[in-house]
Amino acid sequence: MGYLDDLMHRSKEKAGAAALPKPIRQQPPAPAAAQEAPAAAVQKPKPHLEEISPPALAEPTAPEGAVLVSESGVGRIYKTKKGKFIYSVPVPRPSGPEREILDTVKEAATRLITVTPEEIADVKERRAFFKKRILEIIDSSPELGIAPSKIDFYADTIVREMIGYGPLDLLLVDDQLEEIMVIAPNKPVYVFHRHYEMMPTNVVFGRDDDIRGIIDRIARDVGRRIDVKDPLLDARLPDGSRVNATIPPISLEGSTITIRKFRQDPFTVVDLVKFGTINSELAAFMWVATEGMKAKPANVVVSGGTGSGKTTTLNTLAAFIPDGERIITMEDTAEIKLPVKHWIRFETRPPGIEGTGEVTMDTLVKNSLRMRPDRVIVGEVRGKEAFTLFTAMNTGHDGSMGTVHANDARETIVRLTSPPMSVPQLMLAALNLIIVQKRIHDRRKGTIRRVTEVAEVTGVLEDNPQVIYLYEWDAATDTIKPTGVPSKYLQELSKYTGMSYAEIQAEIQRRKEFIERMVMDGVSGIDAVSARIQGFFG
């Protein structure tokens, strides 16, 4: 009986077996990689199963009466008679014997391939290496009865299950998806599409063990552990996507996974103007405030709820920073992407398996102030780091930025000055602008994201803080309009630049026209837009 044949037999009989062949230590691919010995071959080929087809692909097919409305990634989006959307991808659906073949080869690969995925940093090289070894295992075991034309498919499926994220890989490749949500076994995986919003998919995990396997793989990749004692996991995938996972007993119906995906090419100011998130006038004002006319950049907080687009707007603001300035960003999960040269990125670290090694946001912000930064940017301000950030603002680190969870400018002030942030009210004097962004369900346009308020804080030194609105969103016309109130920040900028208030307003108008030309010219991509912005001054 061959090795794989023996594995399949034991999986059926549930009986003890002789020791497995000793795995051969394999080396990950190198620039001049040597040929590796093939995996242990089966001594006497012996048919175990009749030749079978590969796990059937459930092609994206329309539910009865549904019509195709869009193709997205490798999937298709259908609209049902009731007006609901369904996202369908070609998901492998192995039959019983097919599943047995996959599990057997996967078990053999797990025991024979002693190189861990973490030893091969490059994802493409990692997949290629593991596929090569799995092909060798299959090739040396003809008793499996797999047709040569179907070996590749089996190898790809096993690689996806071993070092990928199973059927979720088919969803992760779609850049139009914002969220991927596994809610329980035997229930459809849900996705949130940028244009069609929340919808179910045809992806279903039949076993909780399959979901748990993906969670454990993610946890290992980041050096974390998830178990009954610690049933929660926050992590980041290699592509930057944020992951939250839970397991029983806290998730009652089974393990869950929530993946928030981030665009590889982030939205730019041109995109936000096209989407209507901001208009060209506000974009020009934000540009002047962020750049500060090379004299006094504004300290800015971007506020909003979950999924409102705070980080996108923060990223857009940061792209206005003049090239050559030293920028330090700190985030819980790295999301900010800047087209600049002098940029240092930090990410917090939770405690390891032993409960040690935690690096908090407050620690990172304090450390950044010892690194002579021109700009300090905090991805999300939640706790004690707020005091440190505002200390930086009050000690000459102009142009500092961060995001806060709050629904409007007044609530932002309350959140900042209340526990756990506890910023002393007097320190608010250093905050120049509060930009509020919301995700709105519009009856005409569906889900939209809009900057709804741009405000300044006054009266802090008089112990009477007040919020003064410079721009407000008009729901009737879906536009953000200036209130006509003179900007305290622009008046302050006038003192530092030697320009009159009217001259600064003229500069905002000049940049407004420049942004409108970029929109008309169809400039796209963060690198192209940034190059235009940096070249604005010649």
Say if residue 202 is in the same domain as residue 317: no
Residue 476 domain-assigned (yes or no): yes
Which helix (H) or strand (E) is 375 found in, with range?
A: strand 375-378
pLDDT over 70 (residue 25):
no
pLDDT over 70 (residue 205):
yes
Q: Nearest 10 degrees: CA dihedral of 418, 422, 427, 430? A: -80
Say if residue 77 is in the same domain as residue 98: no
Say if residue 332 is in the same domain as residue 415: yes
Contact residues for 272 (Cβ-Cβ < 8 A; gap 6+): 278, 283, 312, 313, 316
61 pLDDT band, cuts 50/70/90, is: low
Give residue for tokens 């009159």. Answer: 500
d(CA 257, CA 247): 9
Total structural domains within the chain? 3
What CATH number has the domain bearing residue 489? 3.40.50.300
Mean pLDDT of the 343-366 span: 87
* Contact between 173 and 74 (Cβ < 8 Å): yes
pLDDT over 90 (residue 290):
yes
DSSP state for residue 485 in the 8-state scheme: P
Domain closes at, from 241, 262, 283:
262
Q: Is 109 helix (H, G, I), strand (E, B) or coil?
A: helix
Residue 393 domain-assigned (yes or no): yes
Say if residue 315 is in the same domain as residue 341: yes
**Closest by Cα among 26, 22, 3 to 129:** 26
Of 32-36, 352-356, 375-379, the least confident: 32-36
Say if residue 135 is in the same domain as residue 71: no
> What letter represents residue 168's amino acid?
L
Say if residue 116 is in the same domain as residue 24: yes
pLDDT score recorded for residue 7: 55
Domain closes at, from 262, 288, 320:
262
pLDDT score recorded for residue 538: 65
46 pLDDT band, cuts 50/70/90, is: very low
Say if residue 327 is in the same domain as residue 473: yes
Say if residue 258 is in the same domain as residue 290: no
455 pLDDT band, cuts 50/70/90, is: very high
**Closest by Cα among 64, 92, 62, 93 to 78:** 62
pLDDT digits (tens, 9 = 90+) for 139-194: 888 888 887 877 887 888 888 888 888 889 889 989 899 999 999 999 999 999 98
Token pair recorded at residue 424: 């002393």
Mean pLDDT of the 4-22 span: 46
Residue 14 domain-assigned (yes or no): yes
Say if residue 297 is in the same domain as residue 197: no
Residue 386 domain-assigned (yes or no): yes
What CATH number has the domain bearing residue 245? 3.30.450.370
Residue 75 domain-assigned (yes or no): yes
Which domain does 257 fall in, by range? 63-92+165-262
Q: DSSP for 282-339, please give it.
A: HHHHHHHHHHGGGT-PPPEEEEE-TTSSHHHHHHHHHTTSPTT--EEEEESS------
According to DSSP, the residues that pair with 72 across neighbouring strands are 75
pLDDT over 60 (residue 265):
yes
Mean pLDDT of the 285-303 span: 96
Residue 538 domain-assigned (yes or no): no
Say if residue 129 is in the same domain as residue 238: no
Of 8-22, 45-59, 193-207, the least confident: 45-59
Say if residue 411 is in the same domain as residue 459: yes
Residue 511 domain-assigned (yes or no): yes
Residue 205 domain-assigned (yes or no): yes
**What proportion of the chain, given as a percentage, has pLDDT over 70?**
87
Contact residues for 180 (Cβ-Cβ < 8 A; gap 6+): 168, 171, 172, 189, 190, 191, 257, 258, 259, 261
Token pair recorded at residue 246: 């839970």
Say if residue 308 is in the same domain as residue 359: yes
